[in-house]
Amino acid sequence: MIEYRGEVLRKAIHVGSIVIPVAVALMSKTLVVMILAAIALALLMFDLLKAHHRPFKSLFLAVFGKMLRRREEEGSMTASTIVVASAALTVFVFRQEIAVAALAYLSLGDSAAALVGRNWGRVSLVGGRTLEGSLAALISCLLISVFLLLLNPVMGWNLTPLGLLAGSVTATLAELVDLPLDDNLRIPILAGIAMELVVPG
């Protein structure tokens, strides 16, 4: 398991991915998808080098080793690659406001769950998750929802309180339940589906 300091650094980068939903809100959908797809391909190339080129792997581990999970050290794709690829898919599949909300939930809600759960989690749930971490995720997603509702009329979006509540709860459950699908992919996709089913448009 990563030390807590490494987890903080890892989640600091994860929180930094909030620039993605900001870009989605301000730029054209096609351009954002193209940029994200290009970045995901570049990151995938680094992952392949890490898995198959020993000198590059040694350099990569020396720089980022404290932030990597064991499976990433052993050759799996890094979370950064999955986050960017997941964001590209989310933006491509969902309308703008749904993609913004879903990716903000991933960036901030997932990070809150990990940091609070690791440091203050006492009540165990499933898959190593804790009640405290899940509550932190839910509260973060709800706060994001309030902010998005304030932006709603300015941006001309159709977000509704019920739709954002559905997205927040779904994102929290998607982070909590340990499924074969990586949580960086399942959180925005499942939250996006939930909101598409509830938000008019």
pTM summary value: 0.92
In 54-160, alpha helices (H):
54-64, 70-73, 79-93, 96-104, 110-120, 131-155
pLDDT in tens, 44-99: 999 999 988 889 888 888 888 788 888 888 778 899 999 999 999 999 999 999 99
> How many Cα atoms sit within 13 Å of 3 on the Cβ side?
4
CA distance 183 to 79: 10
| Joined tokens for residue 64 | 């980022």
